[in-house]
Structure 1
Amino acid sequence: MTDDFMSRWELSRRRVLGGAAGLGLLGPAAAFGQGAGPWSQPPKSKVDKLNFVVWTYGDIYARISKQFEADWGVKVDSTISSFNDHPTKLATMYAAGEKIDVSQSSPFSFPNFVSQGLVEPLDDMPGAKEYAADFTPFTKQVAMVNGKLMGLPYFATAWVWNYYSDMLEKLKFDKPFSTYEEFIEHCVKAKKDGVSRYPVLWVAGVGLEQLPGTWYQMTWNRGGTFFDKQGNHMLGPGSVARETLKWWANTFEKGLDIADPESLKVQFTTSAKAFGAGKNLYRGPNHHYGLNVANDPAQSPIAGKVKVLGSPGDGKTIADAHVYFLCTANRNKEWAWKLLQYLGGKTKDGNYTQAINLAKDAMLGSGYESVMKSDVIKTGWAPWGDVPEILKIWEKSAYIAEVCSSIYQPWHFPWTDQLNIEVQKCLTGQITPDACCDNLIKGIADAKRKV
């Protein structure tokens, strides 16, 4: 997730269905609005204002701040940075002793924020146990740290594949690939027949979960991991991760030459926009919500023709969740908790307002089981993709840390920087997959020494 992701906030026809009136879409499972409850009770103390420190994403923070001020009569200030700048901005403000009531984190930064003392435990806050009981399994793996509730969900996503249905028909294939052998067969035929110069668009742009996530996902789907349960790397000769990289690199090589060179520049949203040009047969593996770009008529010439596909074999895939948290630098814990709930929990009326709006407006998944099983997902996602199929893939997803447990370690960031460099060199033929993995093994020890 990067600025690339943030820049795509589109308020098109979906916004017309949003807002308070849109809550009627929730259907029978919906009535998240439950009247009286901890979320509807004002704290006994008083504050003049609150604030949150977040990364930019459309107008969601202006909207939720306005609702909070209308409901509680408390002004909300905000500090909003780019996604990449957010961790540094937050740490700088915290070190300077500034007041920070609520902030947010990717799963990659959260362990560090917790260990550095920025995050206030939530277990004793009113209604916290009810929230935790409603978490999806992989949201629990992010928001629960050492058995303590440390955050509430922002959004969740699972990795899927996409295909261009018209091109598949033109190639006279009855269905998309179900094995990696079929994947190569389809792509080679598309190239040979002159239907597509580069049949596959990978998500291989530099980032924390873009290029690395593609490698993680295919390794996990093939039965491998990057680290075992004891934290030992699984990148040696013959490992699933190494063999997966060899297979992946081969799609870029002159022998096959089926991978679009643009793959090395694109991240989740830019790849969805590029795929919308209709030049590729397959795209992935990538975040599920890219469908709201690839199937948006305002952004994609092939809107409606981009279909979702699960991974080969048993369909194992990966997922992640981002969180909001109550900062230890808060000015008033009870009121900060109230604001945190507006971002990552329930508003005064008992609705998961922010989660619902994000699902309807941007196809983002929720960290709450009740939202994921409600009509807001079934109806809200329907204009962009096959919702039952996406949810079936969702059920087969595992939290990304099960594949790459180093995200819990302070050395993960510098090591990921190296991973991006080495793997791109590998995919462009500058080094072999074996050399790439050997360099990354050495890089683990180097990164550990530096932190």
Structure 2
Amino acid sequence: MREQPGVSHGLRRRDLLKATTAGLGLGALGGLPGPAWAAGTPWADRPASKVDRLNFVVWTYGDIYSKISRKFNDDWGIPVDSTISSFNDHPTKLMTMYAGNETIDVSQSSPFSLPNFISQGLVEPLDDLPGAKEYLADLTESARQVAVYDGKLVGLPYFSTVWVWNYYSDMMEKAKLEPFKTYDEFMEQCRKVKKDKIAEYPVAWVAGVGLEQLPGTWYQMTWNRGGVFFDKAGNHQLGPGSIARETLKWWVQTFTEQLADPESLKAQFTTSAKAFGAGKNLYRGPNHHYGLNIANDPAQSPIAGKVKVLGSPGDGRTIGDSHVYFLCTANRDKAWAWKLLQYLGGRTKDGQYSQAINLARDAMLGSGYKSVMTSNVITEGWKPWGDPQKILEIWDKATYVGEICNSIYKPWHFPWTDRLNIEVQKALTGQITADKCCDNLIAAIKEVQRG
């Protein structure tokens, strides 16, 4: 890790960990001399420096990290160590390692965590690195909104996603219905399906505790109805009569009338997709598009091939986000850390976007690169799980989640989201009213801002 003048390595990390709001953002990391780079094709050149190993700190997702580590070792002869946590545990694990002065070459972030990581000094800007400008030019708008912070490129894409609805086509036919076009129609259909004993719980929500699981469901439906959580000036939009509050009242009603599967309260994105594959619900959503690769996988779902994608009501507006990999300031060697970062979020030695292509083809994850999103990796590769054209149409109507809930740029977003999860689950389970929930969240804003 590069030192700031007059600041010791360990002291800087400890101080930054405590000083979330101290303003030590990207400016504190800039203006430092860079290493000497080999000339030529950036992703194919071997750095002049030497390391005996590298590492990354990420959250778990299948076996993608063992594969990319093997490829890196095969190409460069350097082993890669990994620290892998669950998605929800990742931010805490990463910050604990950083505060403990451990070496971290590359790590990973959701858009909900990245501003916090930047403010605490973990993130190395990439603009001056070889090939960075080419990556920047190929970013999708969604990826750019996350990977570019305060005018600087700070990450390379892991994946992108949009929020969609799913429905079980056989149950839809049995009920003699067509996919809903309004929220009133949604409620009518769910009541009919329950009354006719076609499904005990017609809808499965993603309402499990997390940074973007339960919150994302509320964000998406609020945005689709024309609302936001905070305006551009940062003022909350949760008061009486607000769209967010009225949306929550509607959402609570699905539980009150026992239309919503109670298991929804435990469901993350993947677990909800697996549960929907049992064929017990008519609708699932709104949630990440790539759940189709589970719900329509014959090896994982009894109703594979019968789960269809559906856009949101009205004008179809929805939300999307991109997750990124970043070069950590605690790296052992900037040149080699950049090389590893590219294997995760950019090009491999052969010049291919190997990780992005594999994730799109094998896991239905969207890419943060325009060249990948417009390739047959998407238009053909997604066909086993869903209708690529339909999904891409929904993609075109997606707005970055930070536009709906811009508190993600604030250091207090984490503790406030913790409260949001608690209060909303209380409302969904009937312990408090939606009005009380929103009042509590408004009060919590001032509490977390005070620290």
Scaled by the length of structure 1, the TM-score of the pair is: 0.89
CA distance, structure 1, for counterparts of residue 304 and residue 203 of structure 2: 18
Q: Give the Å deviation of 1:105.
A: 1.1
Q: Give the Å deviation of 1:381.
A: 1.2
Q: Which residue identity does 1:114 align to in structure 2?
A: I
Runs of 4+ in 1 over 3 A off after TM superposition: none
In the other structure, the counterpart of 1:37 is 41
CA distance, structure 2, for counterparts of residue 197 and residue 55 of structure 1: 35
Q: Give the Å deviation of 1:429.
A: 1.4
In the other structure, the counterpart of 1:225 is 228
In the other structure, the counterpart of 2:8 is none
Q: Give the Å deviation of 1:56.
A: 2.1
Q: Which residue identity does 2:140 align to in structure 1?
A: T
In the other structure, the counterpart of 1:277 is 278
Q: Which residue identity does 2:286 align to in structure 1?
A: P
Please tell me whether residue 302 in structure 1 is matched to residue 303 in structure 2.
yes
Q: Which residue identity does 1:171 align to in structure 2?
A: A
RCO higher in structure (CA 8 A, sep ≥6) = 1
Which of these residues, 189, 208, 212, is aligned with residue 209 of structure 1?
A: 212
Which of these residues, 185, 190, 193, is aligned with residue 188 of structure 2?
A: 185
> How many matched pairs?
412
Q: Give the Å deviation of 1:77.
A: 2.0
**Which stretches in structure 1 are left out of the alignment for 5+ residues?**
1-35
SS at match of 2:95: helix
CA distance, structure 2, for counterparts of residue 85 and residue 214 of structure 1: 20
Which of these residues, 139, 144, 149, is aligned with residue 148 of structure 2?
A: 144
Residue deviations 1:105-139 (CA, integer Å, cap 9, x gap):
11111111111111110001111011111111111
Identity %: 76
Q: Which residue identity does 1:352 align to in structure 2?
A: Y
SS at match of 1:388: helix
Please tell me whether residue 165 in structure 1 is matched to residue 169 in structure 2.
yes
SS at match of 1:160: strand
Please tell me whether residue 106 in structure 1 is matched to residue 114 in structure 2.
no
Please tell me whether residue 311 in structure 1 is matched to residue 312 in structure 2.
yes
Which of these residues, 236, 240, 260, is aligned with residue 243 of structure 2?
A: 240
In the other structure, the counterpart of 2:9 is none
CA distance, structure 2, for counterparts of residue 280 and residue 105 of structure 1: 32
In the other structure, the counterpart of 1:69 is 73
Q: Give the Å deviation of 1:68.
A: 1.2
Q: Which residue identity does 2:382 align to in structure 1?
A: W
Contact 2:88–2:210 (8 Å) recurs in 1 = no
CA distance, structure 2, for counterparts of residue 126 and residue 295 of structure 1: 41
CA distance, structure 2, for counterparts of residue 445 and residue 118 of structure 1: 27
CA distance, structure 2, for counterparts of residue 170 and residue 260 of structure 1: 20
Q: Which residue identity does 1:353 align to in structure 2?
A: S
In the other structure, the counterpart of 1:388 is 389
Residue deviations 1:4-45 (CA, integer Å, cap 9, x gap):
xxxxxxxxxxxxxxxxxxxxxxxxxxxxxxxx7321122222
Q: Which residue identity does 1:376 align to in structure 2?
A: V
CA distance, structure 1, for counterparts of residue 392 and residue 381 of structure 2: 13
Alignment of 1:230-379 (within 5 A): 230-253=233-256, 256-379=257-380
Q: Give the Å deviation of 1:172.
A: 1.3
Contact 2:227–2:243 (8 Å) recurs in 1 = yes
CA distance, structure 2, for counterparts of residue 81 and residue 429 of structure 1: 33
Q: Which residue identity does 1:265 align to in structure 2?
A: K
Q: Give the Å deviation of 1:73.
A: 2.0
Q: Give the Å deviation of 1:412.
A: 0.9
In the other structure, the counterpart of 2:30 is none
CA distance, structure 1, for counterparts of residue 231 and residue 360 of structure 2: 34
Q: Give the Å deviation of 1:96.
A: 2.5
**Which stretches in structure 2 are left out of the alignment for 5+ residues?**
1-39
Q: Give the Å deviation of 1:265.
A: 1.6
Residue deviations 1:381-418 (CA, integer Å, cap 9, x gap):
11111110011111111111111111111111111111
CA distance, structure 2, for counterparts of residue 327 and residue 365 of structure 1: 24
CA distance, structure 1, for counterparts of residue 421 and residue 211 of structure 2: 8
Residue deviations 1:322-381 (CA, integer Å, cap 9, x gap):
111111111211111111100000001110000111111111111111111110012221
Residue deviations 1:394-445 (CA, integer Å, cap 9, x gap):
1111111111111111111111111111111111111111111111100111
Q: Give the Å deviation of 1:266.
A: 1.2
Q: Give the Å deviation of 1:82.
A: 2.6
